[in-house]
Amino acid sequence: MSNRTWNVAVVGAAGMVGTEMIKTLEQRRFPVNELRPLDVAEVAGTPVSFAGRACACLEATEANFAGIDIAIFSAGGDASLDLAPKAVRQGAVVIDNSSAWRMDPACPLVVPEVNPRDLAWHKGIIANPNCSTIQLVVALKPLHDRARIKRVVVSTYQAASGAGKNGVDELLRQTREILEQGTCSPPRTFQYQLAFNVIPQIDVFQDGGYTKEEWKMVHETVKIMGDPGIRITATTVRVPVLIGHSESVNIETERKLTAAEAREILSAAPGISVVDDPAAPAYPMPAPTAHTDAVFVGRIREDNSLDHGLNLWIVADNVRKGAALNAVQIAEQLVAGNLVRVP
């Protein structure tokens, strides 16, 4: 990075991910000149702490993007569709965490460990992928580069925090109620009781009985990996975990990779921590990996039902690497590559 500093807005600053984005900017010492927290009118005026000082949250309006270089959004799809073009019009480059722009062919969909070169063709808006997609492609990319992946079967075990603060609060409330009185009040955030349960539905059902979350993983993975020949199927499941998504992943490659080769490849790949020792036993889990930056991979083994198959277990903090950190890493790449510009 150069010595230049940047004016950065965080849209949705009062939310769970927005708060984590601000924390990540500070922890990674991103060269911020001015941090401008933006959110809905109801929270305008609320103080937000950054680098030892309080910044007043402002309402997210077009006028409040004036002078901003980089705007990082985590305010939902509707807000992004409305405000991202306005921020660009004011001269900001937008990094958007919602699904609003991910499949727009004019917008790069970027995971810095996987496809940073796509940032070079941005037209003002860059999409941050779905949290479950991010950790998947970080692990897939180095294996794909070595042996080309033909097919992926992924089942996710996604934390309550994937639904934001309301999801976390609901899981805690239900758990407390069940422990204290044996039953819980009706769900408001999830379709069914999540405490002591799993729900095989994330987002709404769409074509072929798949959910929107499952189709996100399919389409986003192909776009990020840049290979339309990869065939993907997904089942996404909500589990009673506070933070950290887990994924059981089966891949088929064009040429055989042994488990030892895969372990070596993944150990050398950026952003990955391999935790894989059955004798210990050691493998990734969401509780001990919460609030960390890496994508953790374990249970690496050959699929004995395929000639060229591997099984992996992948875990990452969905709020951190699955959202806030990836967005900040994109901002770092923009600065390093002199790409903070609106064409």
Which of 122, 144, 245, 308 does the annotation list as catalytic? 245
- The residues with which 311 forms a beta bridge, in sequence order, are 250, 301
- Number of neighbouring beta carbons within 10 Å of residue 46: 15
- The residues with which 93 forms a beta bridge, in sequence order, are 70
How many helices (DSSP H) and strands (DSSP E) are in the chain? 8, 14
Distance set, CA 125 to CA 20, 61, 107 (Å): 21, 17, 6
Distance set, CA 331 to CA 3, 36, 339 (Å): 15, 15, 9
The 3-state DSSP class for residue 256 equals coil
First-last CA distance in the chain: 21
- Whether 245 sits among the annotated catalytic residues: the reply is yes
Which of 57, 107, 131, 184 does the annotation list as catalytic? 131
Q: Which of 19, 51, 17 lies closest to 128 in space, CA to CA?
A: 17
The structure tokens 């999801």 sit at 167
- Whether 57 sits among the annotated catalytic residues: the reply is no
- Number of neighbouring beta carbons within 10 Å of residue 313: 21
**In whole angstroms, what is the distance from residue 194 CA to residue 246 CA?**
16
Enzyme catalytic residues: 131, 245
